[in-house]
Amino acid sequence: MESALEGIRVLDMGRVLATPSAGALLGDMGAEVIKLEQPVKGDDSRNFAPMKNGVSCYYKNFNRSKKGITLDLKKGKDVLLELVKNVDVLIENFRPGTMEKLGLGYDVLKEVNPRLIYGSISGFGATGPYKNRAGYDTMSQAWSGVMSITGWPDSDPVRCGASFGDVMGGLNLVIGVLAALRYRDRTGKGQKIDISLTDGCVVAEASMMQVYLSTGKVPTKNGNCYTSSAPGGGYHTKDGYMVINGSAPKFWAILCNTMGHPELVEDPRFATNALRVQNRAELDKIVEAWTTTLTTNEIIDTLLPKGFACAPILSLDQVVANEQIGGARNMFPEIDDPEVGKMRFTNSAVKMSETMPEIRCPAPRLGEHNKEIYSSVLGYTEEKIQEMAEAGII
């Protein structure tokens, strides 16, 4: 099967999660992705848990489908400039201004390669009064307001349990790169892509933000309830907890009859979705009085055949074992890694009929492809590469 990005070369200077996740996805899609790391130390995430055989599986996941080189940006500035001449895309997530201080900012690099697509991720983006502030996943969830609407009404704000802001940043960078490649196909011009982790979280909360933008009412923490529809959210069952959404008129009537309360369809308190939202507290007591008499599976077996949207709340081991997610959708493929043996990864969510993304190779050992890349891409001799290593340039 052909790959969508075959012939595209990406220089990935990212660290930890956001930009490396973008590089991994571009690699899965067939781009030749070259992971550039600091000599000796490498990416900080090489020391992140979980570890296996003394190797970071965290690093392995976000740096799959890449080749790896090392380069000291201060000692090897001229080498980087030569690499830039030979790549289509450069991606990084340094704090804004770092590349400029090194004399390697986009304004310099585009002179070397006018077709270069330069993608950058930072906490707040490259413009505005906050541009120089440190920004990580938790900060993006806090500044964007996501944490203010996550949790229960009587609890403290809660961070999403996963690195939601970083992943959104990586996905937005990939979207920008793909659009920039299409533009370059038409015009021959590269461009800079400026991604803010905080902006990405703001976009992700757009449905909640629209409540404020349209009404002036500030949404707050609402547990597992939907702000704009009812019944909908989390309900206790006889053996656990699950989520149900029965807000559409058709499904509201089905739920009323299934619960043995057909009279609720005509109840003036619940006649419309807006009224059900307004009277949510009373409504949820009625729904939960029914759900707590049945197990989660009994409710799902009852509602799913009726076309209802409902789900158990799976633990991560159950997600991996699930016939749909881990099975049919192949979200956790296994590859054989030379350092850690057989290892499962979280796969790309993008499925394509003609150019299916796939993990091309394990994450590289530090500097594993120095000789290959510096000789094949830049034409360096073996002696020159050895001299660079002895000088600490690579």
Specify whether 196 is located in the same domain as 243: no
Active site residue 199: no
CA angle 171, 177, 182 (to 5 degrees): 130
Domain assignment of residue 32, yes or no? yes
pLDDT, average across residues 309-316 = 91
Catalytic annotation, pick one of 12, 28, 88, 166: 166
Mean pLDDT of the chain: 94
Specify whether 276 is located in the same domain as 190: no
Specify whether 172 is located in the same domain as 94: yes
Specify whether 284 is located in the same domain as 197: no
Q: Quote the pTM value.
A: 0.91
pLDDT, average across residues 263-278 = 92
Q: Which two tokens stand for residue 271?
A: 């006649």
8 A C-beta contact, residue 123 and residue 139: yes
Domain assignment of residue 30, yes or no? yes
Domain assignment of residue 3, yes or no? no
Instruction: Give the range of the structural domain holding residue 329, as residue numbers without chain letter.
Output: 9-204+323-390
Specify whether 114 is located in the same domain as 200: yes
How far apart, in Å, do the first and last CA atoms of the chain sit? 35
Pairing of strands 51-52, 55-56: antiparallel
Give per-residue pLDDT as tens, 34-46. 999 999 999 999 9
Domain assignment of residue 376, yes or no? yes
CATH number of 240's domain = 3.30.1540.10
Domain assignment of residue 209, yes or no? no
| pLDDT classification of 223: cutoffs 50, 70, 90 | confident
Specify whether 77 is located in the same domain as 173: yes
Domain assignment of residue 2, yes or no? no
Query: What values do phi and psi take at 295, rounded to 5?
Result: -80, 165
SS3 36: strand
The pLDDT score that the predictor gives to residue 127 is 92
Q: Please count the structural domains in the chain.
A: 2
The pLDDT score that the predictor gives to residue 135 is 84
Give per-residue pLDDT as tens, 109-123. 999 999 999 999 999
Domain end position, chosen among 255, 280, 314: 314
CATH number of 99's domain = 3.40.50.10540
Give per-residue pLDDT as tens, 5-23. 999 999 999 999 999 999 9
Domain assignment of residue 78, yes or no? yes
The pLDDT score that the predictor gives to residue 346 is 93
The pLDDT score that the predictor gives to residue 325 is 95
Is residue 203's pLDDT more than 90?
A: yes
| pLDDT classification of 134: cutoffs 50, 70, 90 | confident
Contacts of 233 (CB under 8 A, 6+ apart): 223, 224, 225, 226, 243, 244, 245, 284
